[in-house]
Amino acid sequence: MFSLRLNNGQHRPFNLSNIASVLGVTEKLQSSHETLPEKFVGTMEMMEHRYGAKDFETSKDTSLLPPGTFYLTQVDSMYWRFYDQKPVEKTAGGKAKCCNGLQMATSGVP
């Protein structure tokens, strides 16, 4: 037999508002970029064409990516995938800051 009691969760660490706050959902939604529908459709068609493909290089335009994001740069003839990382921002203390506002380990980070 089970008993279940529901609370509104205002003082719990895993309520929806705390999760949204920690993940920065509002800031991420506000930082989204608008694009023309034609450009969006073209991008989706290119992604469909490249799905499972080999021997191509991707666009190196990282202007819309948050700092610290890893992105695909190339798929070679053997289907090996190559990635790069957009440089991370440094905080006032000199530590690397990732795209979610989290501190990253600084070993190997330029």
Residue pair 90/80 in contact (Cβ under 8 Å)? The answer is no
Contact predicate 16/26, CB 8 Å: no
Q: Is residue 88 part of a domain?
A: yes
In a domain, 2, yes or no: no
The structure tokens listed for 62 are: 């990282």
Q: Can you give the pTM of this predicted structure?
A: 0.57
Q: In the predicted model, what is the mean pLDDT of residues 13-33?
A: 83
Is 84 a domain residue?
yes
Position with higher pLDDT, 54 vs 19? 54
The tens digit of pLDDT for each residue in 40-51 reads 999 899 889 888
Task: Tell me whether residue 54 is in a domain.
Answer: yes
pLDDT tens figures, 75-85: 999 999 999 99
Q: Is residue 1 part of a domain?
A: no
Strand partners, 82: 74
Residue 104 has pLDDT above 60, yes or no: no
Structure tokens given for 103: 């501190």
The structure tokens listed for 76 are 């070679």
Domain span at 31: 16-97
Eight-class DSSP state of 77: T
Is the residue at 29 inside a domain?
yes
Judge whether 5 lies within some domain.
no
- Whether residue 31 is contained in a domain is answered as yes
Q: Is the pLDDT of residue 10 over 80?
A: no
Tally of structural domains, the chain: 1
